[in-house]
Structure 1
Amino acid sequence: MLTPDWIDAFGAAVTLAVREVSATSLQTEATAEALNPTVTDWINAVSGALTFLAAVAAGLFAWRAAHWTKEQAKAADDQVTVAHAALALAQQEAQDARDEAAHQRSEARRATLRLEEARIDATMPTITVLTSEPLWPPVEPSIVGGDANPLPVGTASPVLHMPRDADRRIAVRMPVTIRNDSQQHVAIMPGGFLDSNSLTLGNRPTEIPPGQSVFGQVEANRSLGEWAEIYHARIDGDPGAEHVATIVYLGQGDTSANDTWTIMLGGTPVEPVPKLDGVWRIIEEVHRGDGGIAAMGGGARPRERIYFLSKSRNERLDDI
């Protein structure tokens, strides 16, 4: 293999020989004319050979230059590739660092929120909301006020006809107990409740002393036509319309919380009488042991608490 050092040595020797021959040719040019043709031819042959060698040396130098150019180009490409890889790595490391910083900020924010929530929790009273089984039988609300009339139920009861009785009102009530388990007075805001005298509590504050309870009822008051629609919806797998009532406690102070309990009462108390079109009756029991479509039930959902950093500015804690 022709190495760059060998090419350099060879080229230098050829160059030196060419120079010496050129000098000798100049000195002996006159003498050569006096010599016989054989000597002159010999000198010309030697000069031609040296010229050829000089051309070879020039070609080798050119090859070497071209070879070095390719090597330099490849080296440059390799450097570019390495640089691109280093840049990609640096960019990925920078992105990883940004992601980690964002994660740490998020964790710090979450920890701050949890600490503030715990501080607010310590100031909030403990309120317990309990529901009982719906009262049975259903009642027919009085149009003129006063006590509602219990309705007959079961197979022995009078039947209801559609559409004649479509607007007849049937109400199902479920008792609710609201207990103040804290050592402070609380004022709740009930919505969609009746008190123990079957009077609407409305959206006015109801005071509960420490350790005391108030009692109310959730009432689903619908027409026979509406109850029948719920029955058909339940056949198709839809729960149908449900009665919703709420209990709200507004925490004291600008930085505090609001609690909401949602009470649901669903199902239907009526069922069609078999083989009689348009004839309905009220089921005998609130729950059907046979898993029938007609049944009533309800309960309270878990309390929902909304934290406020400032109620006056309507600034929730999870907004910071």
Structure 2
Amino acid sequence: MRFDGIHHITAITGDAPRNVDFYTRVLGLRLTAKSVNQDDPSVYHLFYGDEVGSPGADLTFFEYPGALPGRAGAGMVHRIVWRVGSAEALAFWADRLEAEAVDVERGGGSLRFADFEGLEHELVVDESGDPPLVAVHPEIPAELALHGFEGVRAYSYRPQSTAAVLERLMNAEPQDGDRWELRGDARRGWIALDTIPDEPARQSAGTIHHIAWNTTEAEHGRWLEVLQEAGIPNSGLVDRHYFRSIYFREPGGILFELATAEPGFTVDGPVEELGTRIILPPWLEQQRPAIESRLTPLPDPRADWAPVTR
């Protein structure tokens, strides 16, 4: 069994309206779902991605209003690496981000920047051969849009133990000394381990909460058996309604999730309606009035668009 790269990455924001603006208007992702943290329904869980909410381009945020800036450190993913189609796309994004007063760092075939809360991103030219996962945007031509995740960079308390879990348990392939690739039949992605910074980690706005690896309903139960046979504490099977999950913290402190590609966000409605209303799993539906009363209203970021076709 192998993972089809990254399923989703979940981070934290302290400002949902500004978060929606940055990731939809500036980065051109689609708001694919407005939901709530199922473990804390008082806060948003926002999902951004390609046009149909595919695993592999799914960046999500828990909103804790007013949360202070966090700091990435040991036991955390600290940078998201995205694919773009060409060197011309890198130049396009450098210009676009600088026009938004976002500091960018160019060089070595990549472009680095951070969002308004300090969450690190990097763009690299796509050489994967995987189908691009692209969202429609009126200001961003399809050939210049983001293609989905390439990989992540992380800090581990125990890099050798993290490497052992990746290689022996998760069938990741070591590459270039500090990087491990997880490749299945559909897609691939990687995780790289960097030297831990001196300052301690602080989980808050602008930091990554966990990374999820992409599997299938057919293999999900077997992955649970693998974890249990290895003696790794885990959450057991968790029904997230839009996918099924297993959570565990690998020995270096990074929180991993194993998430299924099925059933996806269209379980609640057609693809045309993604991101237009707050969606709740069935077991929270009876609490909708109370939940919605606590959430900051977030309009559909596409409500005023002229029709866009490709």
- Report the TM-score range of the alignment, normalised by the length of the smaller protein: under 0.3
Larger RCO of the pair (alpha carbons < 8 Å, separation 6+): 2
- The structure with more strand, counted as a fraction of residues: 2
Q: Higher Cα Rg: structure 1 or 2?
A: 1
TM-score (norm 2): 0.24
- The structure with more helix, counted as a fraction of residues: 1
TM-score (norm 1): 0.23
